[in-house]
Structure 1
Amino acid sequence: MSNKEDSISLPLVHKGKVRDVYNLGKSYLIVASDRISAFDYVIPTIIPDKGRVLHKLSMFWFDFIQGIVPNHIITGNFESFPLSLKQYEYLRDRSMIVKKAKRVDIECIVRGYLAGSGWKEYQKSQTVCGIKLPVGLKESSKLPESVFTPSSKEEGGKHDENISFEEMVERVGKDTAESLRRISLELYKKVSEYSFLNGIILADTKLEFGFYDNQLILIDEIFTPDSSRFWETGKYEEGKSQDSLDKQYVRDYLERIKWDKSSPAPELPKDVVEKTMEKYISVYEKLTGVNF
């Protein structure tokens, strides 16, 4: 039984910052590693069990949002994997067999609160991704209504760029763009309302979609601490940056040590690794009601 990611002898289609995609012929195997990235760099230190949190939380959400949009999952249960994959114990609780969808090269971002790059832009121009917002909002303010702010999906290490809805229409066509916006906002609404009842604010999130049999489906991971900004309702305070239950903790550490974001990323100290893991597990347990 092999228990390491580098021992998986399957055709590798794509090695992402965090996930690896293997070709199984008619389907893909997506594996969530324990790597963590920040500012578009993979950090050399791993966060133990992080991949398992991402996988289990995604599986929880894929089940939760059924009925809104179909998704790419064939199975995420190791016990029902084909025999040829059972030799890799490493895959348990961190991998899913999925349909081979043709990815739409747009990141579908929904923001319910003013944070991160959105807050930076608002201070300059009172807009987020060109969308005009009311005067007088503060850092971490709840927006009057959630906004859909797409970004381009860039290959080869280039930064994804925020784009306007009009530019998205030019790239993917009006019908697809409108469907993506409608579905993304609907998913955000359902998940953020549920999260709030469980003590968690879903400040913003990013989603990815693809086409399978000419139908738009949800792909990748969804509503995890890697793809979303989670805050605790009990600690939330408008007018400042929040203590996030996601990888913001790692970003904050890298900002504190004044890393230049262009040379190779530094190792993380033990306490930052432990605290990050604690945050990931905490958000998983609060949202699912299950002990990790």
Structure 2
Amino acid sequence: MSLSDLSDDFYDDVCPEALPTIKRAVEDAVRQERRMGASLLRLHFHDCFVNGCDASVLLDQTSTIDSGKTSRANNNFARGFEVIDRIKSKVDKICGRPVVSCADILAVAARDSLVALHGPTWEVLLGRRDSTTASRTSANNDIPTPLMDLPALIDNFKKQVKILAPPLLVALSGGHTLEFDQCFTFRIHIYNETNNIDSTFASQRLANCPRSGGDSNLASLDPTPALFDSKYFSNLVSTKGLLHSDQALFSGGETDELIKTYSTNLGTFSKAFADSMIKMGNMKPLTGNQGQIRVDCRRVSQ
């Protein structure tokens, strides 16, 4: 698995229309539903955090595939699979054959989603290949959870990314500026954790998240979820983080200063986010003769 095998011009000769096709398809999906931008970003994140960016998150359950779609982090959370299917179909059609991997589609779609929502852009290195395996157990163990405190989050990122864990953790968490989550993920935080949440903010969330029932009711992690901005961080400074793991980033620990900086400087946050997406997107790629180029992103090609 070699990062040096990735390049920014990987498809220039074999299919120069691949990237423009992905961009148009993503823009269309986000135009139809702005929340889809955050969903495509989450898919890429959840893919990369389980044994690298290899499109394993897209594989359906079979007798030989232990799909990560049914893991705690993905079941009823991960969405946008049908958008990736449409993109794959359009790209293969314009290229004349399956030459663009599902893993590369995920990486490019995440970038194009952010741009469509007025976020930063970055250069995506290309040439990833698709895995032929998946692991629900690894997804359960490796994707950070909404209940993690700061030490657990930092340990999780160190395990996955190896370097610069706290800065990367804070920057990538900023992707929550576009995110929604379900009631059951933040119920304990708004009802029981009175010491680290603004009381008015917590009270406002109770109407949409009763003590019992309404588990799938949605709430945004940021007051402006359709726009890439720094209000997610401003919320944390005001102890208005919706998830326990969000507010843990601003709780007297080593990430407090970065949170303050990003809360008042969108440009600094945008650059850090783009740099962090590059680092994450380059985690443990399958390249060369490793893996395969799937014909169907949901299934291993025979």
Instruction: Tell me if both proteins adopt one fold, taking TM over 0.5 as the criterion.
Output: no
**Shorter-chain TM-score range:** 0.3 to 0.5
**Larger strand proportion of the pair:** 1
Higher relative contact order (CA 8 A, sep 6+): 2
Could you state the TM-score of these two structures normalised by the residue count of structure 2? 0.31
> TM-score, length-normalised on structure 1?
0.32
